[in-house]
Structure 1
Amino acid sequence: MFLCRRLVLSSFRSFSSVVKKDPSLDYRPLALQARVDFLIRLGDLDTAAKHARLAGQYSSYYIIGLNETCQAIIGAMCEAKRYEDALDLFHYFYRDSKIAPCHGYFNHIIKLHLDQGRLDDALNLYDSSLANHVTQSLISKGLVDAGRQDEVMDLLDQPRSFSNLAWDENVYKPPQLEGLLRQGDFEKADEVLGHLLGSSHVHGDGYDRFAIFSHTYMKYWFEQGKEDKAMHCYSRLQLRKLTKATVVNALLALLLKYGKKTEAWSLFDQVLHSKEMHNLNHYTLNIMVNECFKIGRFDRAIQIFHKVKALKLKFPHACYRNIITRLNKQGILFEAEHLFQEICSDELVSPDVSTYTSMIDAYLKAGRTEDALRLSNKMVDAFLGQLARLACL
């Protein structure tokens, strides 16, 4: 298995070594983005970074695909906890090469600083960045976690040019609400929630906003051990009105974390049978599949997977990877094989390297060496085929 993986990676490194010399290669931003994204999925971050650095040769006005490439490799380095490499790439792209930044281009680095407990460094970046709602959320959470609630209130009252924050520009935001709760100003917090609930705009996206505020309330009361108050907030929600998967996922994760399994399964069932299925995505499925594995109900995880698949048109490979990997860890190889064959036969979804290696490791553990070798060769063929297509871009 490892020999085959090295063959794939060495092919990419060979490809990388001629990237500045071969005039037949397409270096334009979209082609470059495709190569970098693929190398990241392959897990070869070093070669992905070499390709991504070619973004620095473009004019700052060449935006399409360029920032996506920069953000993708920086984010991948942060996820792999290669923080020095992430910072080095960031400085190269946005300072040395002077690539014109997009809104939120500091987000990965801000999160890096927050994860390492360097809140003031994160705040300094926030003050000089083109922020978006993600930037604001990261900083606000960092301040609240540090007990600096007054700064949250001041920070979020400052006017900033958020092009995508029109939905909440005239109301309190969840971090502000959490700040009020932690300060003990329950009267003001109740006023905020009551105002939002009584608003004529509480429908569609507006109701999802109200649900996120309720989630903030619930989280606070759960943390304080006031389970009854948390569930009272939940009881005020009309779940059928929820339209966004992100809101449903936040509620599911919170309910499961604090042992409210009956309510979580009831919410999931409502989502599963909603008319438009807009309030379900692959994270929703993975949350509930993971819960099944946590309690040892592997059969139920498989049933849920197939049930959701029958109702929803397509899954990304992340859904298959999650359940296949978990089945293999439990030694349920027959079911994992069935799902792996299913994803291989899908024209729009294909296994990534992690899914391949999960199956190969399971075969080796089961003593099925020939199957492991067969699948290793199939993995090499699949990814070399993709490499050939990328080389022609």
Structure 2
Amino acid sequence: MLTRGFKKSGILCFTAHYSSSLLKKSQISHGFLVGTQACSDESILKPVDVNILETIVDELCKLIGKQKFVYAKHLLTSISTQASVHPVPSIASALKKICKTEWISSKFLHMLFSIYSDAGMFEKAFETFNIAVGLFGMFNGRLCHQFLLVLKKSNQTDLAVLFFQRMLEEYGVDVSTHSMAMVVDGLCKGGSVQSAQDLIDEMHLKEVKPNIYCYNSLIRAYGKKRDFESIGEILKHIDDIGIARDVSTFTILIDAYSRSGRIVDAERIFNEFKEKGIEDGDVILYTTIISAVCKGGKMKQACYLFDECVEKGIQPNEHTYGALINGFCKLGQMDAAMMLMGEMQRSGVELNQVILNTMMDGYCKKGMFENALEIRVIMEKKGMELDEYTCNILACVLFKSKQVIDAKKILHEQIERGVAANIVNFTKLIDIYCKEGNIREAENLLQEMDKLGLKPNVVSYNTMIDGYGQKGKLKEAQELRKQMEAKGFSPDVFTYTSLIHWSCVSGNINEAKALFEEMHDKGIDRNVVTYNAMISGLSKEGKSEEAYRLYDEMVEAGVPPNDAIYSSLVVSLYPASKTK
């Protein structure tokens, strides 16, 4: 993959992908790309007062000659970026006519390039570059690197690639490894991983060797795609060519494995980092591995890593504390989470809204509603505005604590304010109305989402389908499922489980069995709740043999049964019809 060999052409292979489309996008004329041709085109001078421009350019050259660069830059800025800006070729033509000293002309154009770059006038900066290399055959590599940095920060990846291509075409431009790394990173973040790969492969043509930053960008991009095979090839390649992995490499690898749920592999990479003895690591590395082991529920190990981080003199930040607090909250260990929050404040690390949202959600799931509402008070004291996530959690707390009116009020206020109101807000409100049995209001909200341009998602439809089921409106539930499919959403395990459950409740066991088989035909994995709904329905109908057969099938499928399954199987042996 990384050692395919060089292409015969001196132009990078990634150029073929970009050149035709990007030249159109950049709106840079052929004349500007040639440079000297643009300067000789006198017709472009017609819209401006040539004499005045030449006088100003003459004064600028004198200032530059006297090395009064600050004054020169102010004057040049006024004629190049303000209201009545002169076209770049007009300025260049005047410069060529007035100035006969090469270093002054070169400094003039470098200064003009820098001014355009700082002002965000990227295409004019590009024009200036092309004119300068056309006249002198060289350009300052440091300024080029700064321009690439500005383009990257402005999300101008396409223009950055095109500019880098021009740099490579000019032998008088120093192309640094850092410039290449910047472009590679921009391509990767823009999703053009293959183009980044091609660029790295071809850079040997200019004898510019990629550094670890280039490869880290590739590893990160492949990690997001869960393409661990390509990651393995990259790691083997950098080992073969003698490029050492740095802390960022290990951090990126740990994060990639963690996001894919491969916690054991994440731990293996961290241990490999320690064995290599590269350095102590940094807070990002430790936060990433702590987050990974917390996802695996290994809180004892997470705490050990946290202590190790502190012992090495690495100060944990809000993300480090947040990862640990989130881990404790997911396991329902709220006392430990609260103690950690207190330690965080004593260490001078400020609480943020994400951590407080996590605490509130943890208390809600534990049924500790008063504690959850106390977190809201803390947020208000700190002047934090309730965002959409806080509102959803708070609505859940209020609803479960029987404060239904307040729960609806907080969500309605969020939606009416129009501040970050999203699909989650509406879905939570629909859920509350469905659980209240107020189907009409839930239907109105679903329709209102469309009017506001917030298209309902699968969760929104599933919530409404379950609401219909609760009211015994299976016909409406099935109709909504059809609407959902017509809009391009595929029913998931929750959709089917809800329909199966309510079909069983209503006594329509044949419909439930048909839906259960449909899941298999569509390749949708059934979970323990799905099996429980079906087994419970069969048991209540006295179909003991079918219920037990389905239990065996569930075990063979690797789905562990729960207490509800066993209770349903017992019921199948003593159906209501027999007890009567």
TM-score by length of 2: 0.35
Q: Which has the larger Rg? A: 2
Bigger relative contact order (CA 8 A; separation at least 6): 1
TM-score by length of 1: 0.49
